[in-house]
Amino acid sequence: MSEAIVVEKWYNTRMSTKPMNVVEKILAAHLVEGDPARDAEVGIHIDQTLTQDATGTMAYLQFESMGVSHVRNDLAVSYVDHNTVQIGFENADDHDFLASVARKYGIIYSKAGNGICHQLHLERFGKPGTTLLGSDSHTPTGGGIGQIAIGAGGIDIAVAMAGGAFHIPSPKIRAIRLKGRLRKGVSAKDVILTVLAKFGTKGNVGWIFEYTGPGVATLDVPSRATITNMGAELGVTTSVFPSDAVTRQFLAAQGRVKDFTEIVADRGASYDDVFEVDLAKIEPLAAAPHSPGNVVTVASMKGTKVNQVMIGSCTNSSYRDIRTVAQILKGKRVADDVEVGIACGSRQVVNMLAADGSLAILVKAGCRILENACGFCIGAHMSPATNAVSLRTNNRNFEGRSGTKSAQVYLVSPETAAASALTGLFTACAGTKAVPAPKRFPIDDAMFLYRETAGKGVRGAKIIRGPNIAAVPKGEPLAANIRGVAAIKVGDRITTDHIMPAGARLKFRSNVPQYAKFVFEPCDPKFHDKCLANKDSGLVNVIIAGESYGQGSSREHAALCPMYLGVKAVIAKSIERIHRANLINFGIVPFTFADPRDYDKLEAGDKLELNGVRAAVEGDGTLQVKGPKGAFTVKTALSERERHLILCGGLLASL
Ligand code: MIC
Ligand code: SF4
């Protein structure tokens, strides 16, 4: 189908008038399956893909099993940024595997030490008007330069690299209309926390947030990227800014003006909803433990003792952010009883800070300079002390994610983090000079390997496979009836960090049988053994959950490892977008309660009869489940494609 026809189709079905918003313009040019007005989901073509090491090994193992000779999309980049400093051979083996896969299949390989995937992709590859699919939930960072950038499970990235479409719910589009200008000491983190305070971390599935209005022009690209990055915490499909003069300047300064295309909403473009934010009225904010949606003002926390301050992560590690911190710390020392760590987003950022003297300021102020990687954000190091208050500029403060269950983690802006580092108390920043957008970024792509074979690959090249690289398990077709057991019952807002912990366990990502030992470790360390025992006695494992099950990361291991342990169904009050898609990709039926009160009637260990489950999936998705306290109804709304995957036992089994 030609691009023009596709655009017309979108006009005809979705729009009563011609003007289009930014989301419609980009999606219309990439639509390959479905009609957004008629169908619950549509398929879009993916131009660019990214993976990171923790999700990448699985994605590439799955890509390999598809039997394609080389990547078919415009650009595929494999970053190493998550597992960079752990002890043991596993991570090093993973890196060798990833590098060899990249060379063989025509993927660009970003070595450990180059930086964090989202910051690097924004700097060097992201292109306005294109689509990007990444095996990391913060891929929407690319929305900061007008890309439709979406996070997904590794197997979806594998399909996109093989040239297949990616499916999203037909979007509802909300305009976040910005007006005014941020006050001194207030920055992009406070903007996204304002949006999170309004819309929360659940109930936004299927939405895309488009930033519009005169306030957009007052925000530089790194600030826009902070906002779209942490839009992931809303649970939306993605967030996007227009591509305008500010975008052009950023790309020109990166030596990439040829990648610029202007994409702004047409006059009179319409939205499904509009929310107005007056930037001038925003005050410094923090997300209190243990949810990014638990927003409080910094003023309300004034004087609270702070033990640790960690600055960096893909949300706030740009030159703009770290230079701002250096300006605040210049000529001062951080409080004696506060530990301060700084992790820059990329080598480019480090080089700039070294050149302008900021690095020396930070060292002199008593900060610990950490590697340009995810590090503290994923609990790979720098875990706070018992009961410590840790102020962090990253995007998630789920309980235990820092590596210390009792720690109280608050998410704040770099300005609040720096001001608090000086006093040792929760402190709002009185203001500092704005960091001007650099006219020319120093460009050094030396740590991006295999650029010369990108898109083509090297036929016959050997793949290096250490003992930590295990085969990917395949699911079984869905049986007619299930004799099941509630292997666990969990509450509301269970995140993928609860289901499949990262931190010290991250190094087992490439080895499903090994990693599966830690499924639900924070909730029930015996889950793995119970599941295997149930399996041995011929019972199928079922997970019972509350609202917003599977929040957070895109890690498909949160579905893949349960599948390996014999889980065939989740019954929850509601399920988040990426996790729901991952469940389907691994043949696990994502049921929700028809009446959420039935949740209260179930206990862990209950025997459950899912008679006619296959017929229900083939039909309208409604099923009567028999439990010890009587029958109750569950339902699942599946597209034709999703139904097929579940019946086959998942995507790999369907090929
Ligand atoms: C995260 O921030 O939780 C992660 C670690 O980057 C995950 C990906 C993963 O689990 O590897 C994400 O955001 O998708
Ligand atoms: Fe890495 Fe943290 Fe960003 Fe995830 S949120 S990609 S762990 S920096």
| pLDDT 10s digits, 239-251 | 999 999 999 999 9
Confidence of residue 461 (pLDDT cuts 50, 70, 90): very high
Q: Please, what's the largest Cα pairwise distance for the chain?
A: 71
pLDDT at 442: 98
Q: Which residues have C-beta within 8 Å of that of residue 231, sequence separation ≥ 6?
A: 140, 143, 192, 195, 209, 238, 239
- Per DSSP bridges, beta strands 389-392 and 368-370 are unpaired
Per-residue H/E/C for 30-69: CEEECCCCCCCEEEECCCEEEEEHHHHHHHHHHHHHCCCC
Pocket test for ligand 2, best of 136, 381, 509 (most atoms within 8 A of CB): 136
CA distance 322 to 327: 9
CA distance 96 to 109: 11
CA of 225 to the centre of ligand 2 (A): 14
Q: 33 is written with which tokens? A: 């399956």
Whether cis (ω within 30° of 0) applies to the bond prior to 290 is yes
CA of 62 to the centre of ligand 2 (A): 23
CA distance 144 to 257: 16
CA of 135 to the centre of ligand 1 (A): 8
- The mean pLDDT value for 19-27 works out to 96
Q: 651 is written with which tokens? A: 């995507």
Determine whether the shortest distance from the Cβ of 138 to ligand 1 is under 6 A: yes
Ligand 2 atom with minimal separation from the 315 CA: 3
Judge whether residue 10 has pLDDT over 90. Answer: no
Burial state string for 498-513 with b = 16 or more CB within 10 A and e = fewer than 16: bbbbbbebbbbbbbbe
CA distance 390 to 403: 12
CA distance 329 to 321: 13
| Residue owning tokens 């699942």 | 636
Determine whether the shortest distance from the Cβ of 93 to ligand 1 is under 6 A: no
Determine whether the shortest distance from the Cβ of 150 to ligand 1 is under 6 A: no
Q: 3-class SS at 90?
A: helix
- The mean pLDDT value for 450-478 works out to 96
Determine whether the shortest distance from the Cβ of 54 to ligand 1 is under 6 A: yes
Helix 557-564 with 577-585: angle, nearest 10 deg: 40
Confidence of residue 5 (pLDDT cuts 50, 70, 90): very low
Q: 348 is written with which tokens? A: 């480019």
CA distance 645 to 628: 30
- The mean pLDDT value for 345-359 works out to 98
Q: What is the pLDDT of residues 296-307, one digit of tens each?
A: 999 999 999 999
Provide long-range contacts, Cβ within 8 A and 24+ apart, for 426-430: 426/286, 426/298, 426/301, 426/302, 426/303, 426/304, 426/306, 426/391, 427/298, 427/302, 428/185, 428/283, 428/284, 428/298, 428/299, 428/302, 429/184, 429/185, 429/284, 429/328, 430/184, 430/185
pLDDT at 504: 87
pLDDT at 100: 98
Determine whether the shortest distance from the Cβ of 502 to ligand 1 is under 6 A: yes
Confidence of residue 7 (pLDDT cuts 50, 70, 90): very low
Question: Letter for the amino acid at 68?
Answer: V
- The mean pLDDT value for 193-218 works out to 96
CA distance 45 to 47: 7
Q: 540 is written with which tokens? A: 């199928």
CA of 138 to the centre of ligand 2 (A): 7
CA distance 494 to 508: 21
CA of 559 to the centre of ligand 1 (A): 14
| Overall residue count recorded for the chain in this entry | 655
Domains of the chain (ranges; CATH) run 3-281 (3.30.499.10), 285-423 (3.30.499.10), 481-654 (3.20.19.10)
Judge whether residue 6 has pLDDT over 80. Answer: no
- The mean pLDDT value for 440-444 works out to 98
CA of 144 to the centre of ligand 1 (A): 19
Confidence of residue 87 (pLDDT cuts 50, 70, 90): confident
Judge whether residue 193 has pLDDT over 50. Answer: yes
- The mean pLDDT value for 332-359 works out to 98
Cβ(599)–Cβ(573) below 8 Å: yes
For residue 55, which ligand has an atom nearest its CA? 1
Ligand 2 atom with minimal separation from the 502 CA: 7
Torsional class of 267: left (φ above 0), alpha (ψ -120 to 50), beta (otherwise): beta
CA atoms within 13 A on the CB side of 587: 25
C-alpha distances out from residue 54 to 348, 508, 577, 605, Å: 23, 9, 20, 32
Q: What is the pLDDT of residues 355-399, one digit of tens each?
A: 999 999 999 999 999 999 999 999 999 999 999 999 999 999 999
Chain-centroid distance, C-alpha 205? 14
Instruction: Choose from 2-11, 48-57, 467-476, 498-507 the range with maximum mean pLDDT.
Output: 48-57
CA distance 109 to 158: 16
Determine whether the shortest distance from the Cβ of 117 to ligand 1 is under 6 A: no
Residue 196 gets which letter from DSSP? H
Q: 335 is written with which tokens? A: 């409080």
- How many CB atoms are located within 10 Å of the residue 363 CB? 12
Pocket test for ligand 1, best of 50, 51, 55 (most atoms within 8 A of CB): 55
Cβ(216)–Cβ(180) below 8 Å: no
Ligand 1 atom with minimal separation from the 500 CA: 10
Instruction: Give residue ranges with CB within 6 A of ligand 2.
Output: 82, 116, 136, 138, 313-314, 374, 377-378, 394-395
Q: 3-class SS at 572?
A: strand
Share of the chain above pLDDT 70, in %: 97
Confidence of residue 11 (pLDDT cuts 50, 70, 90): very low
Determine whether the shortest distance from the Cβ of 136 to ligand 1 is under 6 A: yes
Judge whether residue 12 has pLDDT over 50. Answer: no
Strand ranges (DSSP E) for 330-469?
339-343, 368-370, 389-392, 408-411, 448-449
pLDDT at 86: 74
Ligand 1 atom with minimal separation from the 378 CA: 5
Ligand 2 atom with minimal separation from the 396 CA: 5
CA of 383 to the centre of ligand 1 (A): 17
Pocket test for ligand 1, best of 499, 554, 576 (most atoms within 8 A of CB): 554
For residue 392, which ligand has an atom nearest its CA? 2
Pocket test for ligand 2, best of 394, 495, 496 (most atoms within 8 A of CB): 394
CA distance 138 to 118: 7
pLDDT at 17: 54
Report the candidate in 125, 163, 164 with the shortest Cα–Cα distance to residue 145: 125
Confidence of residue 513 (pLDDT cuts 50, 70, 90): very high
φ, ψ of residue 590 in degrees (nearest 5): -90, 90
Judge whether residue 115 has pLDDT over 80. Answer: yes
| Residue owning tokens 């009609």 | 35
CA of 374 to the centre of ligand 2 (A): 5
Q: 484 is written with which tokens? A: 């099941």
Q: 609 is written with which tokens? A: 């009869």
CA distance 182 to 241: 17
| Residue owning tokens 């499909």 | 237
CA distance 314 to 300: 27
Residue 105 gets which letter from DSSP? H
Question: Letter for the amino acid at 392?
Answer: R
Nearest alpha carbon, ligand 1 atom 1: 553
CA of 82 to the centre of ligand 1 (A): 8
- The mean pLDDT value for 191-213 works out to 96
Q: Which residues have C-beta within 8 Å of that of residue 18, sequence separation ≥ 6?
A: 11, 266
Confidence of residue 554 (pLDDT cuts 50, 70, 90): very high
